[in-house]
């Protein structure tokens, strides 16, 4: 990173690019050169900046005129005026120069980059007098994603820069095509690499969307603690976040964090952050005065010279254990501790204190009631006069010798959202860093291919070819034997969904409402058809010459496979039941055909039945997140929000219903060889007898991190899945396992 005396930022992005403010770190619509002026140098002189959040710019499709009175527009005009004025913090009697830059902590848009939403945001801040950096929020990356836009603007969706003697880290905490926050492996590895080049004494300021204190939806405490461990030994001055649209200063793990309010609603305004005479101060400024609250709210004041490095108290936990009854945990002693708690995962707190050793407290945790596989153990220590600090370590409870499945594991370096493809001698998948992997059945690496983008769900196979779509709109055709590229095609919009194969055509439903039919032998586009302006996410269904797909505009579409001509469209089940809204689209859970009917479940968690002509028939069940048709009869498996899996017959009457870990993630149940497998949000993989629903095997593939890949199977003996830490797990039935898989 360069010296700021050159009057330029140097930005280091997740993709490894270094971008100068005068070239790559441009403020959206204007080049950063238009904003160049004397800035604070790296010697730690005084400066100030703006922190704002949650603008939620409305979607605007082609043909719609921009509404100058829509959400946040007037407030952003006010904010732009404020950016050209000296920063005044009256509660602290502080005045500084104009803000050097602004940081937006996510939810830039209400519904992702639909139509002209991104351009409308650019226009709304066009008169800002300083550069603007931003991180994505859940509203930016759920129904579409802005990662591909951030990559063009800042180098990637996570990046950093130096200013005024401080190091700023902008972290993407939003899930990719999912509202759940996730600190995936690619992000954490980038943070570690970024910090390796920063002196330990440098004050750190972190910007991210999802707050780390309280419940912002992370998979577990362990998910967040993995980030904290990277910050141990560092001087973290401040975390800036959004999501909650509120005004407060709290602490997480002893680190001060402030929320950025919003540009609409009851907490409309922004934070000013100043560093003057070595003192960091944060103040929230409401846009309008009110008799019910002050307009200027002081949130934080502290001298940076008193900023201590974060300290860990590492636990001693066996990485693997087969004790099957107790897990012994050694917690370091602290002379100032006044209380201590130790527990497994998120909901089991039955620790038993055994004894005190010279340097440790020793605990024994009961493991009888947890399944085999990965878990985490946490310890929370509260010291006198200080807030409690939590640490955590993962451990694996090994399967017993009599387990019916052989477990294989590997890590692919980034989270996985593609459903693994499982064949006789090859398992293929792609991670969120855009790398495609060919693995043996025992998960040994055979080959890799780099798309140089990010891959969500778009992975399909046709014979000996694999088709991969990325968020840059590229289609990569790979030879499954060696991973070498056969051809590559470019489409105009991001690709999230896997292709549907119809004869010689691979049909892609893209992230902006278009369908594209490509000859999968040579990559030539045969036809393209625009159905809507909103995105498709899940693999389309092919049935009786129709291609049927749910969309994030709330509708289900049917087109003719040969021409792309629209045959019909209808609302999702929730739209027929009561609420017609794009928020309840049937877009992230594939539609299935069964017994001469279509079945769809939507983001309103409603399962409905339709005729093959798109006529709505009935609501079958509520609180359903995903469905799968049986391979052997006309029955249907329905996964619920509230920890049940139900098998329904052709009349939609339950054959059986069993209690099993599930969750809201639309991971489809998978049927294979008289069994059905189901994966919970945080990695508990359960195998049931398909006839009776009796549990046959259960294994935790992740230490309570989100698992968004779904389950791949060869329909015979193997199931494969992965988590957002990049761990891939394969379970092979021992009774049919070959001696060696190559």
Give yes or no for residue 188 having a pLDDT over 90: yes
pLDDT in tens, 272-281: 999 999 999 9
DSSP code of residue 272 = E
Residue in 618, 721, 649, 636 with CA at minimum distance from that of residue 678: 721
Residue 445's SS3 state is: strand
Decide if pLDDT at 212 tops 50.
yes
Q: How large is the average pLDDT for residues 390-412?
A: 95
Rounded to whole angstroms, the Cα distance separating 414 from 455 reads 11
Mean pLDDT, residues 633-662 taken together: 97
Biggest alpha carbon distance in the chain? 77
Sign of CA dihedral 165, 166, 170, 171: positive
User: What is the C-alpha to C-alpha distance for residues 19 and 4, in angstroms, rounded to an integer?
Assistant: 13
Is the pLDDT score of 4 beyond 60?
no
pLDDT of amino acid 577: 97
- How many C-beta atoms lie closer than 10 Å to residue 386's C-beta? 13
Domains recognised in the chain with CATH numbers:
4-306 (3.60.21.10), 320-397 (2.60.40)
Work out the pLDDT band at 737, boundaries 50, 70, 90. Answer: low
Instruction: Report the alpha-carbon distance of residue 272 to residue 274 in Å, rounded.
Output: 7
User: In terms of residues, how long is the chain?
Assistant: 742
Task: Dig out the tokens for 329 from the structure.
Answer: 């945990």
Tokens, residue 215: 């419940």
By C-alpha distance, which of 105, 79, 121 is closest to 211? 105
Give residue 16's pLDDT. Answer: 56
Contact 210, 249 (CB under 8 A): no
Return the number of other C-beta atoms located less than 10 Å from residue 245's C-beta.
19
At 262, is the secondary structure helix, strand, or coil?
strand
pLDDT of residue 49: 98
Identify the pLDDT of residue 406.
96
Band (pLDDT 50/70/90 cuts) for residue 29 is very low
Q: Report helix, strand or coil for 185.
A: helix
Are 703 and 222 contacting, i.e. CB atoms less than 8 angstroms apart?
yes
How large is the average pLDDT for residues 361-384?
A: 90
3-state DSSP assignment of residue 415: coil
* Cα(419)–Cα(428) distance, integer angstroms: 9
pLDDT, position 385: 73
Q: Residue 78: enclosing H or E segment and its boundaries?
A: helix 73-82
Give the integer Cα–Cα distance in Å for 213 and 447.
41
Q: What tokens were used for 72? A: 């946040």
15: pLDDT confidence band, cut at 50, 70 and 90?
A: low
- What is the rounded distance in angstroms from the CA atom of residue 716 to the CA atom of residue 682? 25
If you average pLDDT over residues 329-335, what whole number do you get? 86
Inter-axis angle of helices 117-124 and 73-82, nearest 10: 40
Q: Does 326 score more than 90 pLDDT?
A: no
Tell whether the model's pLDDT for residue 550 goes beyond 60.
yes
Alpha-helical segments (H) within 83-174: 117-124, 147-154
Lowest mean pLDDT among 38-52, 351-365, 441-455, 690-704: 38-52
As a whole number, mean pLDDT of residues 154-160 equals 94
In sequence order, the 6+-apart residues with CB closer than 8 A to the CB of 678 are: 639, 645, 660, 661, 662, 667, 669, 670, 685, 686, 688, 711
Taking the model in full, what pTM does it have? 0.93
- The phi, psi pair for 186, rounded to 5°, reads -65, -40
Cβ-proximal residues to 691 (8 Å cutoff; 6+ apart), any chain: 674
Best CA proximity match to 256, nearest among 198, 195, 298, 194:
298
pLDDT on residue 699? 98
Contact assessment for residue 248 and residue 258, using Cβ atoms and an 8 Å cutoff: yes
Q: HEC states along 586-629? A: CCCCCCEEECCEEEEECCCCEEEEEECCCCEEEEEEECEEEEEE
CA–CA distance, 52 with 226 (Å, rounded to integer): 26
Query: Residue 323: its pLDDT value, please?
Result: 66
pLDDT at 316 over 50: yes
For 566-575, write each residue's pLDDT tens digit.
999 999 999 9
- What are the pLDDT digits (tens) for 573-624? 999 999 999 999 999 999 999 999 999 999 999 999 999 999 999 999 999 9
d(CA 464, CA 106): 42
pLDDT at residue number 38: 28
Q: pLDDT digits over 30-87, tens only?
A: 333 333 222 434 456 799 999 999 999 999 999 898 888 899 999 999 999 999 999 9
Angle between helices 221-231 and 185-196 (to 10 degrees): 10
Which residue, among 311, 348, 310, has the nearest Cα to 329 in the 3D structure?
348
Decide if 160 contacts 130 (C-beta within 8 A).
no
Output the average pLDDT for the chain: 91
Q: H/E/C letters for each residue in 665-695?
A: CCCCCEEECCEEEEECCCCEEEEEECCCCCE
Strand, coil or helix: what is 150?
helix
Tokens of 149: 């836009």
Give yes or no for residue 386 having a pLDDT over 90: no
CA-wise closest residue to 418 among 505, 497, 535 = 497
Residue 484 has pLDDT above 90, yes or no: yes
């Amino acid at each position: 990173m360069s010296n700021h005396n050159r009057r330029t930022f140097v930005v280091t992005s997740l993709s490894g690019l270094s971008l100068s403010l005068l070239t790559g770190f441009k403020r959206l619509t204007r080049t950063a050169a238009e904003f160049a002026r004397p800035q604070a140098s790296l010697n730690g002189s005084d400066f100030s900046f703006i922190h704002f959040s949650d603008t939620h710019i409305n979607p605007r499709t082609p043909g719609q005129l921009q509404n100058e009175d829509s959400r946040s527009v007037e407030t952003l005009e006010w904010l732009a005026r404020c950016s050209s004025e000296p920063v005044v913090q009256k509660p602290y009697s502080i005045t500084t120069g104009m803000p050097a830059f602004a940081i937006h902590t996510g939810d830039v848009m209400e519904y992702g980059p639909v139509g002209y939403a991104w351009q409308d945001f650019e226009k709304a801040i066009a008169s800002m007098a300083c550069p603007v950096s931003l991180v994505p929020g859940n509203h930016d990356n759920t129904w579409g994603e802005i990662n591909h836009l951030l990559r063009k603007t800042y180098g990637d969706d996570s990046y950093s820069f130096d200013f005024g003697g401080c190091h700023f880290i902008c972290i993407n905490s939003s899930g990719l095509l999912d509202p759940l926050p996730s600190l995936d492996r690619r992000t954490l590895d980038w943070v570690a690499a970024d910090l390796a080049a920063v002196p330990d004494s440098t004050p750190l300021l972190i910007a991210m969307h999802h707050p780390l204190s309280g419940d912002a939806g992370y998979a577990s405490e362990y998910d967040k603690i993995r980030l904290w461990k990277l910050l141990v030994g560092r001087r973290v001055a401040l975390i800036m976040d959004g999501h909650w649209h509120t005004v407060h200063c709290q602490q997480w793990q002893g680190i001060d964090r402030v929320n950025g309010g919003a540009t609409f609603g009851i907490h409309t305004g922004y934070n000013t952050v100043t560093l003057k005479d070595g003192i960091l101060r944060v103040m929230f400024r409401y846009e309008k005065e009110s008799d019910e609250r002050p307009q200027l709210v002081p949130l934080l004041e502290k001298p940076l010279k008193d900023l201590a490095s974060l300290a860990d108290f590492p636990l001693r936990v066996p990485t693997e254990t087969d004790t099957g009854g107790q897990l012994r945990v050694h917690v370091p002693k602290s002379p100032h501790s006044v209380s201590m708690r130790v527990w497994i995962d998120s909901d089991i707190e039955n620790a038993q204190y055994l004894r005190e050793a010279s340097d440790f407290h020793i605990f024994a945790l009961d493991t009888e009631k947890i399944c085999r596989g990965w878990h985490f153990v946490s310890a929370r220590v509260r010291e006198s006069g200080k807030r409690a600090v939590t640490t955590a370590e993962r451990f694996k409870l090994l399967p017993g010798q009599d387990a019916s499945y052989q477990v294989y594991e590997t890590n692919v370096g980034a989270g996985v959202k593609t459903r693994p493809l499982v064949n006789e001698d090859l398992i293929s998948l792609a991670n969120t860093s855009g790398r495609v992997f060919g693995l043996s059945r025992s998960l040994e690496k055979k080959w890799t291919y780099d798309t140089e983008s990010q891959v969500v769900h778009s992975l399909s196979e046709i014979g000996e070819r694999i088709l991969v779509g990325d968020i840059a709109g590229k289609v990569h055709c790979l030879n499954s034997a060696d991973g070498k590229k056969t051809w590559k095609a470019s489409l105009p919009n991001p690709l999230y969904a896997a292709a549907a194969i119809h004869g010689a055509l691979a049909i892609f439903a893209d992230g902006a409402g278009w369908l594209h039919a490509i000859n999968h032998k040579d990559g030539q586009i045969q036809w393209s058809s625009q159905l809507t302006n909103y995105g498709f996410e899940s693999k389309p269904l092919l049935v009786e010459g129709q291609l049927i797909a749910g969309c994030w505009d709330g509708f289900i579409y049917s087109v003719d496979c040969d021409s792309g001509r629209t045959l019909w469209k209808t609302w999702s089940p929730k739209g027929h039941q009561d609420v017609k809204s794009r928020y309840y689209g049937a877009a992230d859970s594939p539609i299935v055909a069964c017994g001469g009917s279509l079945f769809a479940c939507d983001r309103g968690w409603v399962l409905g039945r339709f005729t093959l002509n798109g006529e709505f028939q009935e609501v079958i069940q509520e609180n359903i997140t995903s469905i799968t048709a049986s391979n052997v009869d006309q029955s249907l498996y329905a996964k619920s929000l509230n920890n049940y899996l139900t098998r329904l017959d052709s009349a939609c009457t339950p054959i059986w219903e069993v209690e099993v870990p599930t969750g809201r993630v639309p991971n489809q149940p998978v049927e294979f060889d008289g069994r059905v497998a189901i994966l919970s949000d945080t990695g508990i993989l359960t195998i049931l007898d398909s006839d009776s629903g009796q549990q046959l095997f259960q294994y935790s593939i992740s230490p309570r991190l989100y698992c968004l890949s779904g389950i791949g199977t060869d329909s015979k003996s193997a199931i494969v899945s992965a988590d957002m830490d990049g761990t891939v797990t394969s379970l092979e039935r021992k009774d049919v396992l070959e001696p060696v898989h190559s």
